Amino acid sequence: AQSVTQPDIHITVSEGASLELRCNYSYGATPYLFWYVQSPGQGLQLLLKYFSGDTLVQGIKGFEAEFKRSQSSFNLRKPSVHWSDAAEYFCAVGLYNTDKLIFGTGTRLQVFP
């Protein structure tokens, strides 16, 4: 069955530090991959998505993610974290020929000044 794993439940970083959030998926074909962010009391907002082509994807707010087929991973990165990046981040897989998304359990990011 398809699944998404976000191994880090909670990550704490200092403002200005670099960030990498991990995401691994299990799916029998090339998936559509997404990262969403959920700020407290807010709905989910799409940060970036990968459908095909260049495996390094740029998103909003200075985030990027790299699709690595050999590792079944789609890790999210940011070179310098801002305090406003504190939120919960969800990785998701879109299944081929459907529009359903399978979400990971999320990673909560805390940013210290």
Partner 1 sequence: GAGVSQSPSNKVTEKGKDVELRCDPISGHTALYWYRQSLGQGLEFLIYFQGNSAPDKSGLPSDRFSAERTGESVSTLTIQRTQQEDSAVYLCASSLGREGEQFFGPGTRLTVL
Binding site for partner 1 (CB under 8 A): 4, 6, 32, 36, 41-46, 49, 51, 90, 92, 94, 98-106
User: Judged by CB, which is closer to partner 1: 70, or 98?
Assistant: 98
Residue of 2, 4, 70, 80 whose CA lies nearest to 36: 4
Beta bridge partner(s), residue 45: 37
User: Judged by CB, which is closer to partner 1: 70, or 100?
Assistant: 100
What gap in Å lies between CA 51 and CA 32, rounded to an integer?
5
User: Judged by CB, which is closer to partner 1: 45, or 84?
Assistant: 45
**71: which DSSP letter?**
G
Q: Smallest gap, in angstroms, from Cβ of residue 105 to partner 1?
A: 4
